[in-house]
Amino acid sequence: MTINIDSASDRSRPADQPVLEIDHLKVTFATDGGDVYAVKDVSLDVRSGEVLAIVGESGSGKTVTAKTILGLLPETATSGGAVLINGNNVISVSAAKLRQIRGRDVAMVFQEPSTALNPVFTVGWQIAEGIRAHAGGAGGKRVSAKDAKVRAIEALRKVGIPDPEHRVNYYPHQFSGGQKQRVVIAAALALNPGLIVADEPTTALDVTVQAEILELLRDLRDKYGTSIVLITHNMGVVADLADRVVVMYQGDVVEEAPVRVLFAEPKQDYTKKLLAAVPHLGRNSASEGLRERAHQGSPVLVEATNLTIEYPGRLGTPAFKAVDGVSFTVSPGEVFGLVGESGSGKTTIGRAIAGLNRTTGGSLKVLGYEMLNLKERTFKPLRKNIGFVFQDPAASFNPQLTIGDCVAEPMIIHTNPSPAQARKRVAELLESVQLPASYAQRYPHELSGGQRQRASLARALILNPRLLIADEPTSALDVSVQAKVLELFKEIQAEFGFAALFISHDLAVVDILSQWVGVLYKGKLVEQGIGSQVMGAPQHDYTKRLIASLPVPDPDEQARRREAHRALLTQ
């Protein structure tokens, strides 16, 4: 590996000495409910040119650990132990010294590129701010604005922004999501730090963009020898990029191992459970062995023919076509998986079927009812046959009502039951979704995310609907919780026998549940077919790219897939 000459010469260190050393780190937060021990005892090190992944679910303390490396904890936090970067203990150095370390020795890449960039300054200015904050050059003088800009252009070029001389004067909103993340990485690279802390760098991105950013990070490591601390919950990303993995759980390090060892033979129970919960494309496919579409024969529940949905443009701008000429059917008992990246129109279709969005062209028949020119009064009786599960379990319950009231609401509206009947039915349903009946008296905030999503499922199913629409029902959940909810969904679907439209951006999740899968791209249904066939032998170019971009949680398999992906792109 090569060390970048122009900057790293003064900080060159013996290859075996760690770039970062964390020794018995402890972080405590003062909160209303007393002290919270976010990080209990973490020790790890990162060597030069190494990618260390810290993985864990929410509450594991991985993000807090990452912030500690740059001294970015809020004032309510107290930390103990040591975080050594180039001989400086970040926890105890002075504020002035800490500022010197930040950006020069260690830099950060954030999760959400659109919020990590200041909307009212040009990207060049923002990158230059970091450069000018540090005395540059030999004499320790401030860097002039002109020089800083030159270096900002250089940084943009490094991360593959085309035409950086021109783009350096762009504002963040003029870049796409993936480009924004490149700019964030460029800002981190501006002073050639030896270490980059990347906090969920691809979580906010679509899977095809994620592949590009992972590629870029790998390049940085290979070309400049930059060490990377990769914070993530995504095992596929870990398998793709990491050299070594630290697994965290509730503030402690559970296991640490080279990436291949960890995936091949995890030692700790928690790691095993975590890995088992990760959906793996191509395994557990719901359509395994299917040769033709199941559940055909009875009249379809949903029939879209050339369905078009437009959002009117503002101030006379042309309308935006969210859904463009889509045709598909959903039959009774069938689970139809709808996959697509952001902006593909998948959510719009789901909402249109539930009458939350108006259709503007073509035809959409739901339970025989034509949704074009929907009249709420005539559609209302049909609503009892449709259930809906929303993405965000926290927001989909009225915070003022108990879970019991929320779950019973569809019943109260449509069948006017006695309070006792309603209570009984709610208890039955809660049991079906494996929640104690006593939870009916609780308020939504007293449940965890997974529990709320179960309750949401109970509400959707209380009237025994013939069709269930689930819009990204597990994407807000941790992977182990997701696994349980998916399993529950599968069981209940088999038991109740409803048809479902399962909407998700996650191919692996869709494949686990759906026999029939449709792939949406920019409002068009580019491909549909039996799940395992679409995933295994995609026909459309976009589907091929999409599937090739998805990192699988297996380092060796992922290395092969990466090569295939590269080949696909260079074709």
Partner 1 sequence: MATLIDAPPPTVAAPTSKSAGGGLGRYILIRFLLIFPTIFILVTLVFFLMRITGDPITAAQGGRLPQEQIDALVHQAGYDRNLFIQYIEYLGHIATGNFGRTISDGRPVIEMLAKFGAATLELSINAVMVALLVGIPLGMFAAHKRDKVPDAVLRMFAILCYATPVFFAGLLLKLTFSVGLGWFPVAGRASTTTELAMGRLAAPTGVYWLDALRSGNLAAFGDIVHHAVLPAVALGLLTAGVFLRLVRTNVIGTLGRDYVEAGRSRGVSEYRLVTKHAYKPALIPIITVMGLQIALLLGGAVLTETTFEWKGLGYQLAQYLTARDFVAVQGIVMLLAVIVAITNFVVDIAAALIDPRVRY
Partner 2 sequence: MGTTVLEPKKKSLLNRLPVSSHIRQSVGLQRTMLLIGVVLCAVFVVAAIFAPVLAPYGYSQISDDAGSFPAQAEPGGKHLMGTTVGGYDVLSRMIWGSQTAMAVIVAAVLMSIFLGVFLGLVSGYFGGWLDRVLVVIADAIYAFPTLLVAIVMSIAINKGQSGFWGGILACGFAITAVFVPQYFRVIRAETIRLKAEPFVESAQVVGASSARIISRHIFSNATRTLPLIFTLNASEAILTLAGLGFLGFGIEPSSAAEWGFDLNKAMSDASSGIWWTGVFPGLAIVLTVVGLTLVGESINDLNDPRLRGRKAAGAKGAPGPSTAAAQSAIAANVRGL
Residues that bind partner 1 (CB under 8 A): 70, 72, 99-104, 107-108, 110, 112, 115-122, 126, 129-130, 133-134, 171, 173-174, 184, 187-188, 190-191, 313-317
Q: Work out how close the CB of 292 gets to partner 2 at its nearest, in angstroms, rounded to a whole number.
A: 32
Nearer to partner 1 by Cβ, of 66 and 367: the residue is: 66
The DSSP string of 382-418 is: GGGGEEEE-S-TTTSS-TTS-HHHHHHHHHHHHH---
The DSSP call for residue 206 is -
Write out the two tokens for 565: 């992906």
φ, ψ (nearest 5 deg) of residue 51: -105, 115
Report whether 167 contacts 186 (CB < 8 A).
no
Q: Which residue has the tokens 């791209």?
A: 521
- Interface residue with partner 2, options 11, 218, 321, 414 (CB under 8 A): 414
* Residue number with CB closer to partner 1 (120 or 420): 120
Nearest distance, CB of residue 456 and partner 2, angstroms: 8
445 to each of 250, 320, 386, 393, 451, how far by Cα in Å? 21, 37, 26, 10, 10
Q: Candidates 143-151, 285-293, 375-383, 555-563: pick the segment binding partner 2 (CB under 8 A).
A: 375-383
450-469 footprint of partner 2 as x/- string (CB under 8 A): ------x--x---x------
Q: Which stretch binds partner 2 (CB under 8 A): 89-97, 312-320, 438-446, 491-499?
A: 438-446
Whole-angstrom CA distances from 523 to 327, 388, 454, 457, 526 are 11, 21, 30, 27, 9
Query: Does 32 engage in binding with partner 2 (CB under 8 A)?
Result: yes
Which of partner 1, partner 2, none lies near 299, with the C-beta cut-off 5 to 8 A by kind? none
Q: Is residue 64 near partner 2 by the rule CB under 8 A?
A: yes
In whole angstroms, what is the distance from residue 203 CA to residue 570 CA?
25
Does position 115 interact with partner 2 (CB under 8 A)? The reply is: no
Closest CB 502 distance from partner 1, rounded Å: 30
- Regarding 59 and contact with partner 2 (CB under 8 A), the answer is yes
Does position 84 bind partner 2 by CB under 8 A? no
Residue 58 within binding range of partner 2, rule CB under 8 A: yes
Q: Decide: is 76 part of the binding site for partner 2 (CB under 8 A).
A: yes
- The set of long-range contacts for 422-427, using a CB threshold of 8 Å and a minimum separation of 24, is 425/462, 426/458, 426/462
Q: Does 400 bind partner 2 (CB under 8 A)?
A: yes
Question: Bridge-partner residues for 363, per DSSP?
Answer: 305
Q: What is the distance between the alpha carbons of residues 84 and 112, in angstroms, rounded to a whole number?
A: 27
Q: What is the Cα 303 distance to its own chain's centre?
A: 31
DSSP character at residue 292: S
C-alpha to C-alpha distance for 304 and 325, rounded to whole angstroms = 9
Nearer to partner 1, 7 or 268 (CB): 7
Residue type, 202: T
Task: Return the number of the residue (59 or 343) whose C-beta is nearest partner 2.
Answer: 59
Interface region with partner 2, contact rule CB under 8 A, candidates 277-285, 327-335, 401-409, 549-557: 401-409
Binding region for partner 2 (CB under 8 A) = 29-32, 36, 38, 58-59, 63-64, 74-77, 354-356, 380-381, 383-384, 386, 388, 390-392, 394-401, 406, 409-410, 413-414, 443-446, 456, 459, 463
